[in-house]
Structure 1
Amino acid sequence: MGNDIPKNSNMEVFETLESEVRSYSRGWPAVFESAKGYKIRDTEGREYIDFFAGAGTLNYGHNDDRMQEKLIEYIKNDGIIHSLDMGTNPRKDFLEAFNDIILKPRNLSYKVMFPGPTGTNSVESALKIARKVTGRDTIISFTNAFHGMTLGSLSVTGNIFKRRGAGVPLADTVFMPFDHYIEGVDTADYMERYLADNGSGVDLPAAVILETVQGEGGINAASMDWLKKIHALCKKYDILLIVDDIQAGNGRTGTFFSFEPAGIEPDIICLSKSIGGFGLPMAVTLIKPEYDQWAPGEHNGTFRGNNMAFIAAVEAFRYWKNSDFENSVNEKAAYMAKEIERLIRTYPGLQGSPRGRGLMQGIAVGKENLASEICAEAFRNGLIVETSGPADEVVKFLPPLIIDKAGLAEGFEILEKSIQNVL
């Protein structure tokens, strides 16, 4: 017997028929109908500035014209849609473009692996190959890390609420303090003490996994000096370094890879979210050639390689053919940082502090539930923005990278009005 659904309703359908696990639809109770660039519209005709960008999946905005045209053309020509890891023209084009436009100019050499089409699958594959290559079990992760919702990824995720959802023990991970986690303590030196001391109880790990900016953990940005030290530690102790660039990568922090300013070269890189350009499911695991020791099919999946996403991704790479796009992102990031500082000064009731870098920034507030109240009020006023952090204490800004200054200004105008109303 089916459920009775109220007539002439919007959200009741989701509340009646969909699982209680849903989250975003609770905070943004609208039925969205169309989107373009950095704006979204709902079925009631309301328009919203998007400071969320699909949790970082829509770095190039909604419905990019050129990507859209390429996809429609491909479908109309009966192009191959599903192909597992068989050879297709879109796959070939992606590999060549990624190598020529992204890797070569940065003097990087990686084998490209296509796991299942989600970020957590990229992380799972990274953990598996690190353990296979080194013959060791332990992984070092960091406080407030978030790496995904499947068991391996959850084991290196710090959030207690999410870890409890596993329902089973999560083992073979040691957590170390992230940069700035302990005031006045160099946490890279702290980690080395554990690695160097035979009495520390910490086994030599297979890998260290980190986000350069912790997206879900509170927009905590590691310093370049700290990243260099962690990289050097991994080299010294023969540990593989995995950088999870799923949210912080793809240009989000100003450079294509978030670790570029540190001048380091991770052994394994996890990419997803905006790597597919258009918001289509896709994930990539980059592995240094000497560590690409998989047996054929040892890590596989029905959807390992999305031809539609390959087509959109190749179009997205046009943004990276010269430095213009990168420069524009950094200019807008500087504007965002100034606006954040201004709001913190203007509204001491926030007890605010700035977080993040690039177009991945936020305001950490000092009062419980205040960030959630601000985000809810912002939605009512026409701005989509979410919280971050272990206690949802950060108002998190992830606008599409293609947003213009006018869009940023309008978004911060709505945000300021919302802060005023809540305070």
Structure 2
Amino acid sequence: MNIFNEKESNVKSYCNRFPVVFTSAKGCWLTTDKGERYIDFLAGAGSLNYGHNNDIMKQALLDYIDKDGLTHGLDMHTEAKAAFLTALRNHIFEPRNLDYKVQFTGPTGTNAVEAAMKLARKVTGRANIVTFTNGFHGCTYGALAATGNQHHRGGSGMPLTGTSRLPYEGYAGVDGLALFEAMLNDNSSGLDKPAAVLLETLQGEGGLNVASNEWLQRLSKICKDNGVLVIVDDIQAGCGRTGTFFSFEPSGIKPDMVTLSKSIGGYGLPMALVLLKPELDKWSPGEHNGTFRGNNHAFITATTAIENYWQNDDFEQHIAARSQQVTKTIERVLKRFPSLFVRAKGRGMMQGVECKRPEFASDIADHCFENGMIIETAGPDDEVVKFFSPLTISESELEKGLHIFEQAAEHVSNAATRKAS
């Protein structure tokens, strides 16, 4: 461990909670240099929806590398990119009646968000972007201005401008959309008419807050009536995490832009996209670019993921079954440990449980780690225990992880009872 403490920046975070050295990973399992195995309920913060070293994708990538396929090609035409765009069109867009152009940005989610915000401003000629409480969109300046979390905002070192914040659904009992509509129609509201609204339909880092279908439909209508674009940040909630490929599908809305990263590459390889309606494609060549905006290895694994998991509804049915397993466990612990937990949060395989005190969530995560599981917390005060296993996890593996969690909850509950007495 000395080399990490000696040379790695203090900005590191996950390794502080999980101070071991990992050497290999497979499916939903991580193995350390000491041979210890941990079940993974973090999954690269949503980058490993198809698990670690997925066999199908690994073989496709090895075959591509073996024939000296392009690794790096800027944004030049390649066979790998053509295959990815074809799979995306045939298996994702067309079955959902969606028509999007695809912009390849730098390989991080925050770069995709920056690009979407820039394009919205360019197309509309307006500067303001409306964002929501507890939203998280990245740590570069534009995306950080759209992010609510003060811990991340505090690292900016300068004022964060260009956005206006509204209450997300359920925030402090305020009807944020009624407020938004009233302000748009009041010349003295002080709200500069926005170019776009930017939101997660299910807020990941913000605490697994879910926007209802009705709320999303209301928001979409308000925006359409007022010439405001809708940008859905599906970086964490997309690629099947909530049960459907896109998180917004159950609502029936069709965002003007969608940002994707994390699991869009399939194998954990860095890749990010902006999906945009064709009429919004007002970019000049190279106007938003990046040296690594064409990760051909990620194109290979992304194509393989789409073709093997999204040609029919079998994978969605598997996600639904595993989601129900998680839901049942959460319902059970809410009844068993009313002194620990407040309520269930999230949807699909993006669920969690809110604790009455943040230290309960932290203690549960620590006890899980001691017993062979990696799990993290979320929310404004890290008060939500967040279940985030790979979507490909088996029924028995998921049950094992949920059992470790429930044992941890029992341990923390007993410790809290002893302390109170």
Counterpart code for 1:274? S
Q: Given that residues 113 and 233 in structure 2 are in contact (C-alpha distance below 8 angstroms), is that contact kept between their aligned partners in structure 1?
A: yes
Counterpart in 2 of 1:233? 222
Instruction: Report the 3-state secondary structure (helix = DSSP H, G, I; strand = E; otherwise coil) of the residue aligned with 1:182.
Output: helix
Aligned length: 412
In 1: Cα distance, 2:294 partner to 2:244 partner: 25
Distance in structure 2 (CA, Å) of the matches to 1:164 and 1:52: 25
1:19-418 alignment runs, 5 A limit: 19-183=9-173, 185-317=174-306, 318-418=308-408
- Alignment deviations for residues 133-181 of structure 1 (CA, whole Å, 9 cap, x no partner): 0000000000000000100000000011111111111111100000011
In the superposition, the TM-score normalised over structure 1's length comes to 0.96
1:5 corresponds in structure 2 to: none
Q: What secondary structure is seen at the aligned counterpart in 2 of 1:280? A: coil
Shift of 1:44: 1.0
Contact kept in structure 1, 2:133 and 2:168, CA below 8 Å? yes
Paired residue type of 1:418: A
- Give the C-alpha shift of residue 260 in structure 1: 0.3
Give the letter for the 1:72 counterpart: L
Aligned-partner SS, 1:349:
coil
| Counterpart-to-counterpart distance in 1, 2:317 and 2:289 | 38
TM-score relative to the length of structure 2? 0.97
| 2:145–2:161 CA contact under 8 A, matched in 1 | yes
* Ranges in structure 1 where 5+ consecutive residues have no aligned partner: 1-10
Q: Deviations over 1:291-325 (max 9, x none)?
A: 00000000000000100000000110020100111
1:340 aligned partner, one-letter code: I
Q: Quick one: distance in 1 between partners of 2:293 and 2:187? A: 41
Report deviation, 1:75. Answer: 1.2
CA distance in 2, matches of 1:325, 1:407: 17
Q: CA deviation at 1:79?
A: 1.2
| Amino acid across the alignment from 1:102 | I
Note the C-alpha offset of 1:422: 2.0
- CA distance in 1 between counterparts of 2:177 and 2:313 reads 32
What is the CA–CA distance in structure 2 between the aligned matches of 1:291 and 1:202, rounded to whole Å? 24
Q: In 1, Cα distance between the equivalents of 2:313 and 2:241?
A: 14
The Cα shift of 1:331 comes to 1.7
C-alpha deviations, 1:222-274, integer Å up to 9, x for none?
A: 11110111111110100000000000000000110000000000000000000
The more displaced of 410-419 and 265-274 is: 410-419
Structure 2 residue runs of 5 or longer lacking an equivalent are 414-421
Picking from 411, 415, 421, the partner of 2:411 is: 421
Preserved contact between residue 341 and residue 353 of structure 2 (Cα < 8 Å): no
8 Å contact from structure 2 (residues 345, 354) kept in 1:
yes
How far apart are residue 368 of structure 1 and its match? 3.2
Spell out, residue by residue over 1:345-396, the C-alpha distance to the aligned partner (whole angstroms, 9 max, x if none).
1011213210000100011101132111111111111111001011011101
Distance 1:369 1:307 in 2: 43
Rounded Cα–Cα distance in structure 1 between residues aligned with 2:362 and 2:187: 45
Percent identity of paired positions between Structure 1 and Structure 2: 54
* SS of 1:385 mapped into structure 2: strand
Specify the code of the residue in structure 2 equivalent to 1:222. Answer: A
2:393 alignment partner, SS class: coil
Distance in 1 separating the partners of 2:152 and 2:349: 26
RMSD over aligned CA atoms reads 0.8
